[in-house]
């Protein structure tokens, strides 16, 4: 399968994506725990059906020490006992922040309050931007039909 578009072959898209990818690398410097970042990005990508991002975040998380058990249970995190309360709050916020068309209210106050019990304002801000950023990346890849399976850890660092 070949992608419909090579965004980097066109001057405007290449320039925009250079900045977009640079912004994405900033998440690694944030105070949001690395496992939480990867789990959230993976869950958002699962919801959106972005194969490339699922491939990337699964491999990045595994390389950072995440277990296959936890990675395999992200899609069913509500029923899984392997996630911390903080991770569960982040995953719930990520789901509501991604499914805004399904729930006109967006992120509910209850979900926000649960996340705020575990994360400070800097971490909450990072989490909100991460959810939005991952949704945007998913859409770029889905529109272009980017194939998955060949991602190598650190490829976009």
pLDDT for the residue 103: 66
Give the confidence band of 105 by pLDDT, cuts at 50, 70, 90: confident
**Residue 53 covered by a domain:** yes
Residue-averaged pLDDT of the chain: 94
Question: Which CATH number covers residue 76?
Answer: 1.20.1290.10
pLDDT for the residue 110: 96
**Residue 10 covered by a domain:** no
Q: How many domains in the chain? A: 1
Task: Collapse the DSSP code of 5 into the 3-class scheme (helix H, G, I; strand E, B; otherwise coil) and give the result.
Answer: coil
**Residue 51 covered by a domain:** yes
- Of 74, 69, 73, residue with least CA distance to 91: 74
Task: Give the structural domain span for 69.
Answer: 33-144
Distances in Å between the Cα of 132 and the Cα atoms of 11, 147, 149 are 24, 22, 24
Give the confidence band of 102 by pLDDT, cuts at 50, 70, 90: confident
Say which residue, 132 or 153, is predicted with more confidence: 132
**Residue 90 covered by a domain:** yes
**Residue 8 covered by a domain:** no
Distances in Å between the Cα of 95 and the Cα atoms of 107, 111, 113, 146 are 9, 10, 15, 23
């Amino acid at each position: 399968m070949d992608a419909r578009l090579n965004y980097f072959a066109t001057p405007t898209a290449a320039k925009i994506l250079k900045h977009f990818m640079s912004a994405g690398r900033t998440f690694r410097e944030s105070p949001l725990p690395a496992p939480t970042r990867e789990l959230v990005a993976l869950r958002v990508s699962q919801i959106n059906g972005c194969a490339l991002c699922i491939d990337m975040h699964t491999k990045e998380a595994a390389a950072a020490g995440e277990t296959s058990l936890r990675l395999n249970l992200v899609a069913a995190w509500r029923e899984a006992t392997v996630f911390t309360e903080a991770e569960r709050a982040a995953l719930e916020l990520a789901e509501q922040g991604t499914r805004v068309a399904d729930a006109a209210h967006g992120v509910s106050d209850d979900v926000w309050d649960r996340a705020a019990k575990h994360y400070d304002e800097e971490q909450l801000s990072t989490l909100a931007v991460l959810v939005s950023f991952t949704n945007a990346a998913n859409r770029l890849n889905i529109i272009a039909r980017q194939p998955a399976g060949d991602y190598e850890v650190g490829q976009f660092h």
